[in-house]
Chain A
């Protein structure tokens, strides 16, 4: 096996060089496919990351009735803590709420500073669920409590984001599957041409007792090489562009809720995945051809 691997590799390289145009077409098909797969992966994984972060941050704001005195507030807090899915309850006085509001509005917020004398806001309990997916359930329970005048949470936005992501994901996956099949088809055609060009060689190999495995190896390697060659450009392209995109976007996103995945190890994971997908496309394409055209 080790002895003959060099020979198989030589054979497959030779036929790649011989069928220049088919090699070029197959490698390009893999390249285009993987660039799209890679871009898609980068976008999806970052969106998922953002959504996860958002979900982690989902908090339920219970606006406390203005008429509630300190004792009523304590009772309310106790009742909230009794809800099994609740992780934490933090009190935020209305003075702080106003401060936050003013801060978040920046320059325009200055006009709200007037309200400091007569704060129209409510005191708030900030509630966090143990599991983000329980947020809705917890919110519903909170609404029923006395002295909870209003319950607000960002679940709607998160749900919408998740829906958008899943639609985008499905479209992307369908597109990619189509492309993968195209690439595989092209590779299997390239291998078919090689097989036909080597008909006589294969015939003689069979005649003198070469094993089927031995006969198949070069074709298998050829497919693998086509796939791996096709993954080089996408990997380089995605690494380089993610690096520059990351350095460009990072300062702009500072302080916002959007957070992108850091270059390392993310890009290396994506690269490894692209290489693997390329190799699989190649091997699969070659196996299709070998099974069909190589009656050994």
Chain B
């Protein structure tokens, strides 16, 4: 599903962010990526949806070799990957419905099928009743649920989340985690970078710990460890 071998990444300013990573993540897995700030978690995750290119090494996502992927094929790769961020990245001038529909409109989906799919996914995140609301009329947790709805409306095989609970209070964070569990149970692979110790230690999943650009720990049902 997600495979990295001998991956190195040096930024143009000389910073060595990833210093030799080999990893294999299977279809349907739920993986936490943990580690201190600046350890390379974000770079690791960004390389999966090709926001960043590795300096060397091989990355294969869902059968697509990113090292030989043409620039023009990147959009097709992204359609198989849903991405969720700490800051939600919603469009403030669009309603909840429009924000989710946006993801389908811009890949040229048939307008007739968009409505149904958006309503289905809003139902899943339990926000159907707020479809006409604007993002600033929602709580942080609700906004994050909208962004999750947007990321999965296209039925991606992989969902990548970069600190999705970073801006949320503990109760709301658990709402989001329950939603992730549900999405994972439907067969979607989830890779989630997090600083949330409580979540990692309670909802036990595979843990990959990154430090100084290397994987220092990879446990099937791991603990968060001692960071910050």
Contact = CB atoms under 8 A, between A and B. Distances in A.
Interface stretch (B5-13, B52-60, B72-80): B72-80
B14 interface: no
Nearest to A198: B91
A201 interface: yes
Given A208-B78, A209-B75, A7 B91 contact: no
Given A209-B79, A210-B75, A204 B107 contact: no
Nearest to A4: B108
B102 interface: yes
A214 B108 contact: yes
Contact of A204 (B72, B77, B102): B102
A174 interface: no
Q: Size band of the B side of the interface?
A: 20 to 34
Interface in B73-115: 75-79, 83, 89, 91, 102-103, 105-108, 110-111
Given A4-B108, A200-B89, A209 B72 contact: no
12 contacts: A200-B91, A208-B107, A208-B151, A209-B75, A209-B76, A209-B78, A209-B79, A210-B75, A210-B106, A210-B107, A211-B75, A212-B72
B89 A203 contact: yes
B75 A207 contact: no
Nearest to A215: B106
Nearest to A205: B106
| Closest 3 A/B residue pairs (Cβ) | A209-B78, A209-B79, A210-B106
Q: Size band of the A side of the interface?
A: 10 to 19
Nearest to B94: A201
Interface in A199-227: 200-201, 203-212, 214-215
A207 B91 contact: no
A117 interface: no
A7 B105 contact: yes
Residue among A200, A205, A209, A215 with the most chain B CB within 10 A? Answer: A209
Interface string B140-163: 000000000011001000000000
Contact of B91 (A4, A204, A206, A215): A204
Contacts, number: 49
B165 to A, nearest CB: 19
Contact of B89 (A7, A204, A212): A204
A208 B154 contact: yes
Nearest to B72: A212
A214 B104 CA distance: 12
For the residues of A in contact with B, the DSSP-based class is helix
A211 B111 CA distance: 17
Given A3-B108, A208-B102, A211-B75, 13 more contacts: A4-B105, A200-B89, A204-B91, A206-B75, A207-B83, A208-B151, A209-B107, A209-B154, A210-B75, A210-B107, A211-B107, A214-B107, A214-B108
Residue among B75, B79, B150, B151 with the most chain A CB within 10 A? Answer: B75
A211 B76 CA distance: 8
Nearest to B81: A209
A209 B91 contact: no
A54 B110 CA distance: 64
A203 B76 CA distance: 16
A7 to B, nearest CB: 7
Interface in B13-72: 49, 72
B102 A207 contact: no
Residue among A3, A206, A211, A214 with the most chain B CB within 10 A? Answer: A211
A210 B154 CA distance: 12
Contacts of A211: 72, 75, 107
B98 to A, nearest CB: 12
Interface in B122-178: 150-151, 154
A4 B104 CA distance: 12
